Structure 1
């Protein structure tokens, strides 16, 4: 079935895998860099797209190169508030009603300048909340013609960081714990993050809805952070894990069994047995299929980032080779996400268009994908409020379907 860009833009959408530091406007990054005296490879959008934020990358390292510039810019609090506000507005302008913005606060903290975890969280929330209030005060939202906008914040711990250069916070952490093994320092930072996240959520009502672990999978398995995720689990903080992006299905298994993952970030390798490296797995294909069946049965949602996967896994080649088709065939709960709007030069609407143009997605299946974005999110309110919000968005989906003269989506 063919879906027009106008229809895709009009339907209600959610983005649950959205990195703040990878999703700035290129024009704003240039202004921010000038304001904060940060050197960029180019001070034109064309130059940045040519040198840094490319349409194609040779490997994951090249893909991650641009974050040194965005993170440097976001350590300025004025820039951070602006980026948070603009990210919400950019999503609103393309029909995205709910976003979960994730980032690593410790990458932006600077204890020497008094820029603490609490400071960072308040500034990010200020920007998002400003955009939310502006949108929800529009006449078409207030009178019920369109669903309101909402958001949650997911805090990322880092799987690894070096002794110098990652951020002032991490550099200081290594200095304070210089007699500890590196992994002990890394895990201590992660535990510090999750404890602070729970505290701000409970004491200040900050809409911190989840925990994530990001960074290089190979050599830094999610299981190393079992205690961190258990703390989140015990304190009702929901959990997602970057798993199966650049490592085999065993990474996904660890995320589920050791980290209590409620969702999976990427999950690409589930259907790529050649990525499996654990020698104890004698039949990687059968292992992945069994794991996929388990995930489908438990309705554990997968945050699918098509463009990002194509860019960080060049071996995929054509989009039609993406494992998204296997996810659909195995009835996994899949959510279309961007990952990084600037680094991947994409939008939620672009990702949906890429999916419907290259995979067999009926109207009913499309509604299911939309529904997962609202039913599998980590909504900051109570469950009954989340249900009502999901129902409101899905009723609006049906309304758009009728407006475009398509078949009944129910």
Structure 2
């Protein structure tokens, strides 16, 4: 039996570790250089910067406001350049490539088809362009020695009135050929409860389809309760505010409220995005992020990026922050990763195969390296002492 890992992994080990991503927005992960190229092609002149490095910095600074509505405003620029088949294909292909390069072996990427219709595309054309892009990105990643599988989540905007239409679209395109694996609603929570879209959720449940709901990010427990009890969400997008239903006494003892107990008992996955949560004011620091307590209490917590461009992040960086804040080891990383793979919206046998054939062997190799390094270090210390 392999020794328990007791030290933090090195940055290169974190990058190489197999990672699973459940919460990442396509329009929040563009390469700055790609935005500039696409803006030039379509004649979009409203970009705040025209150099890639400066534009990347602008996105991060604009998003780092502590306000979810202000954070969401940055998407006007990315959506503006994602209005053609060619642009959507390129962005999706680069997304898969970038994630694979970062060690992600499975990802569910979400986007709202209704936000890409300004130049005359139909909803179907949007979905097909993105799906084709993901498949091309998977092929490019394989050619570069990386393995990744990408599923799409079709998102409806919670302030709009097209949720049922998008839910029907997700159901029509579901399956291994297109790669659409489920549905989501996103956008500002306050004032736009998920119950506004009950018809969409009832439809998806009748069709035995999967869906997640952004809940418990900028709004509190009522949003989580509605997402679960009224809408029947399979997962919670963020869910960070579940911490409001957990009391920690001065002596360290913990008491869970009824909703928090329900979420833990039912193993409801929490799609947690630490850096994004700091930007939107849902948490004050990595060390104080609720993910530390939720991991200790064995909630079904997962680690995600949300918007890689706006947050200037990646899965590797998210885990680096958590390693620094909580002293997490490769064992902890594997725990989060298996949690995420168990919670994915693909069939059970495919999830199990990813866990047993890709994730566990990948971490076993890294742990063997760690054990060898520890042994070599100890031997060197003993030799030096003599």
TM-score (norm 2): 0.87
Verify: 1:367 aligned to 2:334, yes or no.
yes
| Deviations 1:91-125, CA, capped at 9 Å, x for gaps | 11111111111010001124xx5411110011101
Q: Is the Cα–Cα contact under 8 Å of residues 158 and 213 in structure 1 kept in the other structure?
A: yes
Equivalent residues of 2:22, 2:340 under 8 A apart = yes
RMSD: 2.3
Q: How does 1:322-337 map to 2 (within 5 A)?
A: 322-337=289-304
The Cα of 1:293 is off from its aligned counterpart by 1.8
1:319 match: secondary structure: coil
Q: 1:268 aligns with which of 229, 232, 240?
A: 240
In the TM superposition, residue 273 of structure 1 has moved relative to its aligned partner by 5.8
Aligned residue number for residue 156 of structure 2: 157
Q: Secondary structure at the match of 1:307?
A: helix
Any unmatched runs of 5+ in structure 2?
A: 1-6, 247-253, 375-386
Instruction: For residue 406 of structure 1, report the CA deviation from its aligned partner.
Output: 7.2
SS of alignment partner, residue 43 of structure 1: coil
2:224 corresponds in structure 1 to 252
Kindly indicate whether residue 187 of structure 2 is the aligned counterpart of residue 215 of structure 1.
yes
Deviation by residue 1:136-188 (Cα, 9 ceiling, x = unmatched): 356x67xxxxxx32111001111104xxxxxxxxxxxxxxxxxxxxxxxx1xx
Question: Does 2:119 correspond to 1:119?
Answer: no
Describe the SS at the equivalent of 2:81. Answer: helix
How many Å apart are 1:360 and its aligned residue? 4.3
Question: Are 1:192 and 2:165 counterparts?
Answer: yes
State whether structure 2 residue 209 is matched by structure 1 residue 237. yes
Does the C-alpha gap of structure 1 residues 107 and 366 become closer, same or farther in structure 2, counting only changes over 3 Å?
Answer: same
Q: Tell me which stretches of 4 or more aligned residues in structure 1 moved more than 6 Å.
A: none
| Alignment match, 2:108 | 100
Matched, 1:8 2:14: yes
Match of 1:301 in 2: 269
Cross-structure match for 1:378: 345
User: Which of the numbers 60, 80, 85 marks the counterpart of 2:93?
Assistant: 85
Cα deviation code 1:330-358 (max 9, x no counterpart): 21111110000001110010001111110
Q: Which residue of 1 aligns with 2:37?
A: 31
Mark the runs of 5 or more structure 1 residues left unpaired by the alignment: 142-147, 162-185, 275-285
Aligned length: 358
> Is the Cα contact below 8 Å between 2:273 and 2:306 reproduced in 1?
yes
> Aligned ranges for residues 163-178 of structure 1 at < 5 Å?
none
